[in-house]
Amino acid sequence: MFYGVELGSRLMLGTAQYPSPAVLAKAMEVSGTEVITVSLRREGSGGSAFRDLIAGSGCRILPNTAGCHTAKEAITTAHMAREVFGTNWIKLEVIGHADTLQPDPFALVEAARVLCADGFEVFPYTTDDLIVGEKLLDAGCQVLMPWGAPIGSGQGLRNSAALKTMRAHFAGVPLVVDAGIGAPSQAAQAMEMGFDAVLLNTAVAKAVDPVAMARAFGMAVSAGRLAHDAGLMPARDMAAASTPIFGMAELA
């Protein structure tokens, strides 16, 4: 549940870089997603056809502040996005490093504090740092979105130990793995850890067959969460026979 909204799908899908609007529409449909992210820049360049497509998708829109490098720029973009899309939801990105696209934790917390006070329901794109996560919650965020790896890299969960620690530390907080996921198996891994959702874009949009890949990610997210809820077996240091010794026949 995110800000009081219960969703049936744990896959959030980006809307950029698809080969055509028709492919995007079909990918959204087959993935089962109920949340799509849209940047104000993308909406502005897509024209009325793109606006009609996302409006008719039936999905909840999560505008983002992609491309912002300062708190002031992100805050201004968020206010514009609220006017355009008519929602208080905002995916907050404040990029601090040009190569890795790593968030600027100081500007991120600053912008989050202002936006939460202004009535926004903020989804902050952050690293897997526990202290930054605490500061974002103190600022008013009710969701954290740690990266799996740098945006668009497809590296998957590059620091799975840190993500597991974050999941354990923020036990009652909705957590979404955002960025870096390149394969359905990586999305399933995040769900098996107990994350509440995954958000991705490039792995689907740039696939040879985006529609088939969207379907694969939808299935992987469902399977990963089902496995988590069913109770995964713990890893063992030694082998353990699956067939019990007791009751076996003794052959002379």
Residue numbers in the known binding site for 1-deoxy-D-xylulose 5-phosphate are: 152, 179-180, 201-202
Q: Where are the alpha helices (DSSP H) in the chain?
A: 21-31, 40-55, 71-85, 105-117, 130-139, 160-169, 184-192, 202-205, 210-230
Residue 247 backbone class (left: φ over 0; alpha: ψ -120 to 50; beta: rest): left
Residues listed for the chain:
252
Q: Kindly state the tokens that stand for 202.
A: 């490039």
Residues 6+ apart with CB under 8 A from 38: 15, 54, 61, 62, 63, 64, 85
Write down the catalytic residue from 26, 72, 91, 206. Answer: 91
Active site residue 135: no
User: Hey, which residues are catalytic here?
Assistant: 91
